[in-house]
Structure 1
Amino acid sequence: MAADRPGVPGEAIDLTNLWSRNVRRTGDGVLEVAGVDVLQLAAEYGTPAFVMDEDDFRTRARAYRDAFTDAFAPLGVTVDVYYAGKAFLCTAVARWAHEEGLRVDTCTGGELATALRAGVPGAHIGLHGNNKSDDEIDRAVEAGIGRLVLDSLGEVDRLAEAGRRHGRRVPVMVRVTTGVHAGGHEFVATAHEDQKFGLSIAGGQAMEGLLAVLERPELELVGLHSHIGSQIFDASAFEVATAKVLALRAELADRTGYLVPEVDLGGGYGVAYLPGEVTADPVEVARRIATVVGSDCAALGTPVPRISVEPGRAIVAPTTFTLYRVGVVKPVTTDDGTVRTYVSVDGGMSDNPRPVLYEAGYTAELASRTSAAAPVRARVVGKHCESGDVVVHDAALPADIVPGDLVATPVTGAYGRSMASNYNSVPRPPVLAVRAGTVRVLVRRETEEDLLALDVG
């Protein structure tokens, strides 16, 4: 482990891949990001707080853009990389993604409104979702959105009617399910048949949807959309799904003479959350997908389509850590007679629900000082009135950890603030962006006044 990188004293496992590029420790052991240390952040902005490394976000966005552009260049096609708004979206992040050459994928009216407010052109925004409201569809069409992803047969008429009302031809992608199950948890695998998203290729609904879209003059069939899950490390799943989608494209062309111009191959590439895990390499992922697209299209005798991909959390998750302050430290004797140290922090499941939802694993480190104490078996827990309110199930923290210390949990840029709640009437934390020694508040901390303002009594 590099001496200037975060690490638990006494732990031999290299944790450097879990932190953003500009995270270091100062000489006295204080964690800092892009030249700003956590003592300053906690003093000025309080805890808990999401701390984002802006340069790291931009670097990761460019890495995916460049990897797919380079991999598909020999095939002579363009690739669009879509940033996953659901992972985390605010106006600044949407603007960064656009500035780095990415498009923005949204799945609700709120996400769409955020992207538009950020100045992202409508043509560079996509809207998907299994239950889009008429208002969301209208707003998307009015904004000149680049694509609406059709998720059910019933949407065909609704999208066509919206196009008629606005006097515009609506660009439509049809989301298909390939039967390929991939992802880190059953709840985030999205292409097996028994789930809410998309139209089944095997069941015939996908072809039925494609034909229905082609029959409506108000609609323009711009592509096929496939998304097989999230937190995926094995590219072989993409290879199998890609073959099925490209075969469907060829079959539609044989039946109708229409060759769909674009195929979205989804994404959801995996990131490391724990020691020993390895974040997916964008260059390797892009190379393997480009290879299978080229070979499958050659075998089918069809031109290679324009490609779009959605890296998912892979861009934003590693850019951010959550900073907490320790409240209570309590040794607890477990059922097997050993002692576990419970470290209570001032956040919890309201700012990171993934452990309770998906049994997601995280790690934590003492962030406010150095320590020569031996590590102890610790569990980092939140302040909420739930026994399941656990941030880190098993952490190695110094034995001398005390109330007032700061601890940090890495890889919380995705699905932390975006899934945060006000459970127990706890205000949600701010999002702070740090770049070259400067801190900006991207999303301010909620206050009790914010909560009470919604209560009309």
Structure 2
Amino acid sequence: MASTVSAVPAAPADPNALAPEVWPQGAARDAEGRLVVGGVDAVALAEQFGTPLYVVDEAVVRERAERFREAFDAAARRIGSQATVYYAGKAFLSTAIVRWVTEAGLGVDVCTGGELAVALAAGADPSRLGFHGNNKSVGEIARAVDAGVGALIIDSEIEIERVAEAAARAGRVQRVRLRVNSGVHASTHEFLATAHEDQKFGVPLSRAVELGARIREHDSLEFLGLHCHIGSQIFDAAGFAESAERLIAVHAELDRVAPVPELNLGGGFGIAYTEADRPAPIERIADGIADAVAAACEAHGVRVPRLAFEPGRSIVGPAGVTLYTVGTVKPVPTDDGWRHYVSVDGGMSDNVRTALYGAAYTVRLASRRSDAPAALVRVAGKHCESGDIVVDADWLPHDVGPGDLVAVAATGAYCWSLASNYNHVPRPPVVAVRDGQARVIVRGETEADLLARDAGIDASDGIEGTPA
């Protein structure tokens, strides 16, 4: 879970201020008070592309991808190993994103045939792709094998035979990992180690040796090692360390039969959505994980394996900002005073995380600076749902009003990828900004696009903008 809506943040001294840990690196206000991201001011972006608008700072994505790779490389080298870092595409995937992260030295993790298609269309090296999923279809498995995907993650016992058969038909030896549940659940500041796992992903750690042996029985499969994912929005190394200790104990049993070259510890590294969030620097987390792996390997008398990680949100999340135009402002009395409902031209169709997870976000005026005192606000969407909230609780200048442009920070991950057409609202475009330039990397939808999929409309009816 990310920051949640359980608490109202304290009123800021300056509701115009941009916390550097929340906003994209280099984001600032210009002389006129407008928000500037990637060298482009928000008003110019809204005028050119409209709102709602996803904005992604390309330089931030590239810098964070390189930083994560360097952090894990350095930590692994220190314990006599190597690290492979995959970008977890489910956070946000487009051909541009794939190119940015692969040029920074990362592989890409996909989990559906559609995500695989995007990665391949971007020119990603198939051997640097990992394919996840708890219910990969036979067709998806065959496509991945035929494409030469570097690793298929086996998520259940039944997949062993499916992947082996697909590889045999293709005349290939397919490299695979076995996803296991370590019994460690990590989230934000704390983790819980439990005896059982009741979830749809992976197999019990107690069956890893048995299923590893099953994998090795197939000539068409090469067993790389274990894979585990312990949670999301994790702020330190403690949960990873506990999980690594459990995994290494089983890894050692498998390694005594035949070498197990790799251990994949997944992702879930957290970011700051609000000033209350305090994720540790990734270098400190990488070092903490490496120390735990080295200690566990020494205790069990095995070589330190090659390590693999799958950050997604932590690469792209902080680079994203969503721009909205205010439509109405409605003061509503509360037990403690007043809250202003600021309704914008987007909502749960472009950011469902608040409704789905209770996620907390930060909002600021983007089109101007204001000297008005801070007012408690709730940023609401335009959808016909009482739960259509984008920002549950934050502060904006008291004079926020219709026509103002507002920006919500840290929306690079799981906003576009979870977007929908609820209430027949077209999905917004995604614009990349860098060095004062802006370009569309994902085209927005129009109402004509929505109507074009409606089989009850005859193209000859002449719907404006609908392909004939």
Q: What TM-score do you get using the length of structure 1 for normalisation?
A: 0.94
* TM-superposition CA deviations, 1:69-123 (whole Å, max 9, x none): 1111122322111101000000000011100000000011111110011111100
8 Å Cα contact 1:230-1:312 kept in structure 2:
no
Q: How many residues align?
A: 444
**Structure 2 vs 1, CA of residues 348 and 12 (structure 1 numbering), >3 Å: closer, same or farther?**
closer
* TM-superposition CA deviations, 1:414-436 (whole Å, max 9, x none): 00000001000100011100010
Per-residue deviation, 1:11: 4.5
**SS of match in other structure, 1:439:** strand
Output the CA distance in 2 between the equivalents of 1:269 and 1:115: 22
User: Which residue of 1 is the match for residue 448 of structure 2?
Assistant: 449
User: Which residue of 2 is the match for residue 396 of structure 1?
Assistant: 395
**Structure 2 vs 1, CA of residues 346 and 159 (structure 1 numbering), >3 Å: closer, same or farther?**
same
User: Which residue of 2 is the match for residue 118 of structure 1?
Assistant: 122
User: Which residue of 1 is the match for residue 140 of structure 2?
Assistant: 136
**Structure 2 vs 1, CA of residues 190 and 60 (structure 1 numbering), >3 Å: closer, same or farther?**
farther
Matched, 1:287 2:294: no
* TM-superposition CA deviations, 1:37-60 (whole Å, max 9, x none): 011000000000111111011110
Deviation larger for 14-23 or 86-95: 14-23
Per-residue deviation, 1:10: 2.9
* TM-superposition CA deviations, 1:136-190 (whole Å, max 9, x none): 101100110000000000111111110111111111100010000112599xx99
User: Which residue of 2 is the match for residue 275 of structure 1?
Assistant: 275
**SS of match in other structure, 2:187:** coil
1:212 maps to which of 193, 211, 214: 214
Output the CA distance in 2 between the equivalents of 1:384 and 1:104: 34
User: Which residue of 1 is the match for residue 228 of structure 2?
Assistant: 226
User: Which residue of 2 is the match for residue 67 of structure 1?
Assistant: 71
Specify the code of the residue in structure 2 equivalent to 1:302.
V
8 Å Cα contact 1:185-1:358 kept in structure 2:
no
User: Which residue of 1 is the match for residue 342 of structure 2?
Assistant: 343
Output the CA distance in 2 between the equivalents of 1:208 and 1:72: 29
8 Å Cα contact 2:363-2:394 kept in structure 1:
yes
8 Å Cα contact 1:148-1:171 kept in structure 2:
yes
Output the CA distance in 2 between the equivalents of 1:381 and 1:9: 24
How is 1:181-330 mapped onto 2 (pairs within 5 angstroms)? 181-184=185-188, 193-201=197-205, 204-254=206-256, 257-330=257-330
Matched, 1:438 2:442: no
Per-residue deviation, 1:312: 2.6
**Structure 2 vs 1, CA of residues 353 and 185 (structure 1 numbering), >3 Å: closer, same or farther?**
farther
8 Å Cα contact 2:177-2:224 kept in structure 1:
yes
Per-residue deviation, 1:14: 6.8
Unaligned 5+ runs, structure 2: 1-10, 457-468
Q: What TM-score do you get using the length of structure 2 for normalisation?
A: 0.92
Output the CA distance in 2 between the equivalents of 1:237 and 1:29: 42
**Structure 2 vs 1, CA of residues 191 and 446 (structure 1 numbering), >3 Å: closer, same or farther?**
farther
User: Which residue of 1 is the match for residue 153 of structure 2?
Assistant: 149
How is 1:377-388 mapped onto 2 (pairs within 5 angstroms)? 377-388=376-387
Specify the code of the residue in structure 1 equivalent to 2:171.
G
* TM-superposition CA deviations, 1:324-351 (whole Å, max 9, x none): 00001111123x2622111000001111
* TM-superposition CA deviations, 1:223-267 (whole Å, max 9, x none): 21011011011311101100111111111233xx21211110112
Specify the code of the residue in structure 1 equivalent to 2:83.
V
Output the CA distance in 2 between the equivalents of 1:14 and 1:192: 43
Root-mean-square deviation (Å): 1.9
Output the CA distance in 2 between the equivalents of 1:234 and 1:185: 7
**Structure 2 vs 1, CA of residues 433 and 352 (structure 1 numbering), >3 Å: closer, same or farther?**
same
Output the CA distance in 1 between the equivalents of 2:450 and 2:245: 49
Specify the code of the residue in structure 2 equivalent to 1:162.
A
Unaligned 5+ runs, structure 1: 1-6
8 Å Cα contact 2:126-2:149 kept in structure 1:
yes
Specify the code of the residue in structure 2 equivalent to 1:23.
A
Output the CA distance in 2 between the equivalents of 1:157 and 1:392: 46
Output the CA distance in 1 between the equivalents of 2:196 and 2:126: 31
User: Which residue of 2 is the match for residue 54 of structure 1?
Assistant: 58
2:105 maps to which of 81, 97, 101: 101
Output the CA distance in 1 between the equivalents of 2:397 and 2:326: 13
Output the CA distance in 2 between the equivalents of 1:192 and 1:366: 47
**SS of match in other structure, 1:324:** strand
**SS of match in other structure, 1:83:** strand
Deviation larger for 321-330 or 208-217: 208-217
Specify the code of the residue in structure 2 equivalent to 1:209.
L
**SS of match in other structure, 1:17:** coil
Per-residue deviation, 1:455: 1.4
2:38 maps to which of 34, 48, 67: 34
**SS of match in other structure, 2:21:** helix
**SS of match in other structure, 2:70:** helix
How is 1:161-180 mapped onto 2 (pairs within 5 angstroms)? 161-180=165-184
Matched, 1:81 2:82: no
Output the CA distance in 2 between the equivalents of 1:421 and 1:213: 39
8 Å Cα contact 2:342-2:380 kept in structure 1:
yes
**Structure 2 vs 1, CA of residues 73 and 260 (structure 1 numbering), >3 Å: closer, same or farther?**
same
Output the CA distance in 1 between the equivalents of 2:252 and 2:94: 39
Per-residue deviation, 1:208: 2.3
8 Å Cα contact 1:8-1:398 kept in structure 2:
no
Specify the code of the residue in structure 2 equivalent to 1:341.
H
**Structure 2 vs 1, CA of residues 337 and 35 (structure 1 numbering), >3 Å: closer, same or farther?**
closer
